[in-house]
Every structure is written in structure tokens, then in C-alpha cells.
């Protein structure tokens, strides 16, 4: 593993400013290039995610799939826009995942997972996982994403991550302390995870995740006990740009975006837009690539670059 591709979102950006983009980063040299700017005047983003920027990233054949708020963009390896997909139940899309010619999307704004068949280019099923506060329970229901009978808009659990292993669909929510998987039409708890985490996925005998509220990457067992932790890098406050914003708008060390190589290396993203490389058994980063010191600029999607 030498290169990764990362998307970033600039929180609290104003109209006319860049709202983030996509970068290819060489982890050995620390060099990086911005290949997409969300504020590119040659692209009309009206109605295409607007100021939400780009988030989840996935690869299929020689194509790159990237999630905006309500649209999935497909690029070639040179980042030329080829096509895009939309669905009425896709809103505030976060992480995406491709397995067996299917694209899985976390539609946070509808408490949903959508599944797009990449052979037929049609949305084949949706799953809604929603908290009903006045009843104190959760519901989980499949629906037809091409019909008008799907769920109303709502973000009750902040469903933000999907992952598929051997045909089993796993998903995680910011507000639910469980990594869940789908069996038939039923969500089942796979493991206990910290509330407020991102990018949770099964790993070895436990779960690997961005323990975002605690500013670290964590590897936990199925009961949620910590096996290993990797602290996110902090910068001197005087070196940061655009500080003083509300914590829910922008803060440093906000861990988001996670990928793992076959040689036990972990890559994670954080803000200000930083890519950190870790190895199991060593809590401090092996490499750090800093894209900017603007604390508003937060890495979101992160994947190993597969093309060279």
C-alpha cells in the first residue's frame, strides 16, 4: 500500500468557498494532489448534494464511486465524471460499499440502507432502521426504493456505515452502541461498540472502528472491550486555522474514514485534513500526511488507491 484516496468536507464553509474535495495521497512521501474541488466553477452542483461535499468512496472495475448528499457520482480513474445515480430515498449519504456487483449506500437522512444493482443499474431494495422514541423501540423494514411507499425522511439513529463480508450486510449508527448485521429481515447485534463511532466493521475476532468521540482508532472485542487503541494526532492550537467554531461544526482530531491493508496497516483520516498510518502493536503513527491546517477541513471517505 502506497497511495490512498480521501474525500473531505469543509464544515462551516460559506457560499463561494470550497466545501471540500478529493485528494490522492502518497503515504511514503506525504505528497498529495487535489483531483476534485467541490467549488469547481465548471461543474454544476446545484441539486447535487450542494454544500454537503463528497463522502464515501468505493471502486468497481476501473471506476470510482463517490457519495454526495443525494447522488452517487461515477468517475474514471482520471476523475472524469461518467455518470451518476439518484434515488428519492437517498439523502445525506455517508459511507458506501461495493460487493458482488452491488453498491450499498447508507442514506442517513432516511435511516436507510439502499442497494443498487450495478449490472441492471437499478435500485433493488431498501432497508429502514428507525428509532421510535414514543414507543422506546426500533423498527427494521425492507421496502421498494422505486416506489412511493418507502419511509418518510428522518434521521433518528444516524445510520452512517455499511460493510459486506461473504454476503452478510453489516451496518452501524452513530447513536446505537451496536454493530448490527442483517439476517433475513431482522437486524442482529454482532458486537457492542462505543456510541459516537464511525466506520465500524468486523475485523479478526472483534471490530475495528473510529472511536470518534474519544479521538482514537479502536480495536475492540465483541463485548466492546478495548484490545488496541491508536490516538489521533493533535496539533498545537496556535498552528490551526479557523479555530473558535462550535465543536459540532469543526474540531481537530475528529476521526473519520478508515481502511486496512493486508499487511496489518491501518489508515485513518481526521481534521484538520490529515491522513495517519498505523501498525498493529504500535500506538503512534508511522506516517502522517497533513493536507491543510484548516480545522474546518475534515476527512470523510478514505480508501486504498487500487490503480497503481
d(CA 19, CA 80) in angstroms, rounded, equals 19
Q: What are phi and psi of 73, to 5 degrees?
A: -100, 140
d(CA 186, CA 183) in angstroms, rounded, equals 5
Of residues 160 and 11, more confidence is placed in 160
Adjacent-strand bridge partners of 25: 4, 32
Q: To the nearest 10°, report the CA torsion of 307, 57, 161, 146.
A: -120
Q: Convert the pLDDT of each residue in 234-288 to its tens digit.
A: 999 888 887 776 555 568 899 999 999 877 899 999 999 999 999 999 999 999 9
Residue 130 belongs to what domain range? 3-304
Sheet of strand 63-67, all strands in order from the earlier edge strand to the far edge = 57-60, 63-67, 72-76, 81-85
Q: To the nearest 10°, report the CA torsion of 11, 14, 17, 18.
A: 20
First to last CA, the chain: 10
Q: Convert the pLDDT of each residue in 80-108 to its tens digit.
A: 999 999 999 999 999 999 999 999 999 99
Grid cell locating 69: 448528499
pLDDT band at 136 (very low <50, low <70, confident <90, very high): confident
pLDDT band at 52 (very low <50, low <70, confident <90, very high): low
Adjacent-strand bridge partners of 164: 169
Total domain count, the chain: 1
CATH number of residue 104's parent domain? 2.120.10.30
CA distance readout (Å), 125 to 105, 144, 150, 183, 201: 11, 5, 10, 15, 22
Residue 43, pLDDT > 80, answer: no
d(CA 231, CA 273) in angstroms, rounded, equals 16
Write down the pLDDT at residue 155: 96
Tallying the residues shown for the chain, one arrives at 308
d(CA 26, CA 15) in angstroms, rounded, equals 31
92 within 8 A of 155, measured Cβ to Cβ: yes
Residue 185, pLDDT > 50, answer: yes
d(CA 198, CA 217) in angstroms, rounded, equals 10
Residue 169, pLDDT > 70, answer: yes
Look up residue 177 and give its DSSP letter. Answer: E
Place of cell 485534513: 273
Among the ranges given (112-126, 142-156, 249-263), the one the predictor scored with the smallest mean pLDDT: 249-263
Amino acid at each position: 500500500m502506497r497511495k490512498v484516496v480521501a474525500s473531505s468536507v469543509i464544515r462551516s464553509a460559506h457560499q463561494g468557498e470550497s466545501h471540500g474535495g478529493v485528494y490522492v495521497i502518497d503515504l511514503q512521501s506525504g505528497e498529495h494532489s487535489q483531483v476534485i474541488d467541490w467549488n469547481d466553477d465548471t461543474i454544476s452542483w446545484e441539486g447535487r448534494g450542494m454544500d454537503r461535499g463528497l463522502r464515501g468512496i468505493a471502486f468497481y472495475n476501473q471506476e470510482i464511486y463517490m457519495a454526495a448528499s443525494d447522488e452517487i457520482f461515477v468517475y474514471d480513474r482520471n476523475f472524469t465524471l461518467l455518470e451518476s445515480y439518484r434515488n428519492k430515498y437517498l439523502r445525506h449519504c455517508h459511507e458506501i460499499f461495493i460487493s458482488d456487483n452491488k453498491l450499498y449506500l447508507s442514506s442517513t437522512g432516511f435511516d436507510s440502507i439502499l442497494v443498487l444493482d450495478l449490472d441492471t443499474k437499478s435500485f433493488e431494495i431498501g432497508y429502514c432502521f428507525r428509532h421510535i422514541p414514543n414507543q422506546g423501540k426500533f423498527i427494521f423494514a425492507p421496502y421498494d426504493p422505486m416506489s412511493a411507499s418507502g419511509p418518510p425522511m428522518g434521521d433518528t439513529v444516524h445510520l452512517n456505515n455499511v460493510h459486506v463480508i461473504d454476503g452478510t450486510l453489516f451496518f452501524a449508527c452513530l447513536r446505537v452502541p451496536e454493530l448490527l448485521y442483517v439476517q433475513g429481515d431482522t437486524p442482529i447485534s454482532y458486537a457492542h461498540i462505543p456510541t459516537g463511532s464511525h466506520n465500524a466493521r468486523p475485523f479478526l475476532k472483534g471490530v475495528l472502528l473510529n472511536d470518534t468521540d474519544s479521538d482514537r482508532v479502536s480495536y475492540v472485542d465483541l463485548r466492546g472491550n478495548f484490545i488496541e487503541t491508536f490516538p489521533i494526532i493533535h496539533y498545537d492550537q496556535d498552528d490551526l486555522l479557523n479555530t473558535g467554531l462550535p465543536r459540532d461544526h469543526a474540531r481537530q482530531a475528529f476521526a473519520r474514514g478508515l481502511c486496512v491493508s493486508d499487511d496489518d496497516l491501518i489508515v485513518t483520516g481526521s481534521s484538520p485534513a490529515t491522513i495517519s498510518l498505523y501498525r498493529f502493536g504500535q500506538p503512534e503513527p508511522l506516517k502522517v500526511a497533513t493536507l491543510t491546517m484548516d480545522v474546518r477541513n475534515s476527512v470523510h471517505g478514505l480508501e486504498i488507491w487500487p490503480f497503481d
